[in-house]
């Protein structure tokens, strides 16, 4: 079959014409459809889809890319794959755009199905992770699927699997059916996004996780061996052992989400500006059962260090331009187009009272 496909491709295997000007992209459209077209998984990466589509048609990934007529260079836009993939799969381009976020070209949209989807950006905090292995199998897919995702997609509530931090392969995903509090924390996490805005919660969550894990390494006592017991019970597929760092993220997910809500809420910033200290934030950490009896020891404390950097960011923006907030706190998902005359909810800067961003 492979030989038949390669022969049928003909000149389509030559990605660019010799007479093309340097730096000019020249694409050659595929000659015909592939024998087998696979439906893409929702929010799947283009690389993942091509990797699955190629062996289904007795090709390697590089042979399929050559057949598509795309020159895979570092600066080649992913949108170059859209039309060729539509030709070889027979799927409409709009269907592929709905499934593969890399084919979306705008950060704002009013098209149904696009609002709220993860942005496929080359940013340090942009996430690509394996999809829930049980959801993938339920879709009739035997191969691993990698998807663009957002910071809050840590739990598959349908299958009670941890699919968040530490899960670099589908086999790493952890059964958390014995941890109902972790599943409930996932709902709490979504509620925080509704209350404070995704932009601020997505910024606070990885910092809250690092702060909390840094604190418990120094202050947490485990006389009942809870962590050791969790390491024995939390297992990946085929009884695969779980890394200590991953087990801590799973076990203390409720506390990390609660701390995320505190850091994402502007109340602590306003109180800190009025009082000159962060005593309110420290009290709330104990009162909300994030870390009972927490008292910072010195300036190297993870929370103190984070607060210092946060106010340094506010001062930097106040000095150099308020537009920098959009760069320092980017959006994580496609945003809806604002309705004409609609009032947009914004936050107040603690440095310059009354300024909204």
In the prediction, which pLDDT does 102 show?
A: 93
Find, among 29, 40, 47, 27, the residue nearest to 87 by Cα.
29
Burial class (CB within 10 angstroms; exposed 0-12, middle 13-18, buried 19+) of 21:
exposed
The token duo for 38 is 């696979």
pTM: 0.85
Beta bridge partners of 149: 127
Q: What is the pLDDT of residue 224?
A: 59
* Of 242, 183, 199, 178, the residue nearest 347 (C-alpha): 199
pLDDT tens, the chain, 357 aa long: 444 444 343 333 333 323 333 444 445 676 689 999 999 999 999 999 999 999 999 999 999 999 998 887 777 788 899 999 999 999 999 999 999 999 988 888 888 888 889 999 877 778 999 999 999 999 999 999 999 999 999 999 999 999 999 999 999 999 999 899 999 999 999 999 999 989 899 999 999 999 999 888 766 666 557 777 777 888 888 888 888 889 999 999 999 999 999 999 989 998 998 888 899 999 999 999 998 888 888 888 999 999 999 999 888 888 887 778 888 888 899 988 877 776 665 666 777 644 444
Q: Which residue has the tokens 């660019």?
A: 16
Please give the structure tokens belonging to residue 69. Answer: 């007529």
What pLDDT was estimated at residue 5?
A: 41
* Confidence at residue 165, expressed as pLDDT on a 0 to 100 scale: 93
Distances (CA, A) of 199 to 33, 186, 216, 269, 350: 41, 17, 27, 17, 17
Q: Rounded CA gap, 308 and 121, in Å?
A: 28
As given in the structure block, the two tokens for residue 342 are 């609609």
- pLDDT at 249 (0 to 100): 93
pLDDT at 3: 40
Q: Which residues of 98-127 are buried (b: 16+ CB within 10 A; e: fewer)?
A: bbbbbbbeeeebeeeebeebbbbeeeeebb
The predicted structure's pLDDT at residue 346: 66
Q: Do the bridges between strand 127-130 and strand 155-156 make them parallel or antiparallel, or are there none, so unpaired? A: unpaired
Whole-number pLDDT of residue 343: 65
327-337 burial, b at 16+ Cβ within 10 Å, e below that, comes to eebbebbbbee
Distance (Å) of CA 32 to CA 38, 296, 316: 16, 66, 56
Residue 197 and residue 331: Cα distance in Å, rounded? 10
């Amino acid at each position: 079959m492979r030989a038949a496909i390669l022969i049928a491709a003909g000149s389509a295997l030559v990605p660019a014409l010799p007479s093309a000007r340097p730096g000019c992209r020249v694409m050659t459209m595929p000659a015909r459809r592939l024998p087998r077209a696979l439906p893409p998984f929702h929010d799947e990466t283009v690389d993942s889809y091509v990797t699955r589509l190629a062996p289904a048609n007795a090709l390697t990934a590089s042979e399929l890319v050559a057949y598509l007529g795309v020159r895979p260079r570092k600066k080649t836009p992913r949108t170059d794959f859209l039309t060729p993939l539509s030709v070889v799969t027979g799927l409409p381009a709009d269907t592929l755009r709905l499934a593969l976020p890399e084919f979306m070209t705008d950060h704002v949209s009013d098209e149904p199905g696009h609002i709220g989807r993860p942005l496929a950006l080359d940013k340090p905090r942009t996430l690509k992770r394996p999809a829930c292995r049980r959801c993938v199998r339920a879709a009739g897919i035997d191969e691993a699927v990698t998807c663009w995702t957002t910071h809050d997609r840590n739990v598959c509530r349908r299958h009670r699997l941890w699919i968040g931090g530490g899960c670099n392969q589908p086999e790493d995903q952890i059964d958390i059916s014995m941890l109902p509090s972790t599943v409930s924390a996932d709902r709490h996490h979504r509620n925080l996004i509704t209350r404070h805005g995704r932009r601020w919660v997505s910024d606070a969550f990885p910092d809250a996780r690092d702060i909390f894990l840094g604190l418990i390494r120094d202050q947490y006592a485990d006389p009942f061996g809870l962590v050791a017991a969790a390491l024995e019970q939390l297992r990946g597929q085929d009884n695969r052992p779980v890394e200590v760092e991953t087990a801590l993220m799973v076990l203390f997910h409720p506390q990390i989400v609660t701390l995320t809500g505190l850091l994402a809420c502007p109340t602590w910033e306003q109180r800190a500006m009025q009082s000159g200290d962060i005593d309110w934030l420290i009290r709330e950490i104990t009162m909300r059962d994030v870390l009972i009896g927490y008292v910072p020891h010195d300036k190297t404390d993870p929370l103190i260090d984070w607060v210092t950097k946060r106010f340094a960011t506010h001062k930097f923006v106040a000095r150099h331009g308020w537009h920098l907030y959009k760069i320092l706190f980017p959006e994580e998902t496609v945003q809806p187009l604002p309705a004409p005359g609609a009032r947009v909810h914004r936050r107040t800067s603690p440095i310059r009272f009354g300024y909204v961003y």
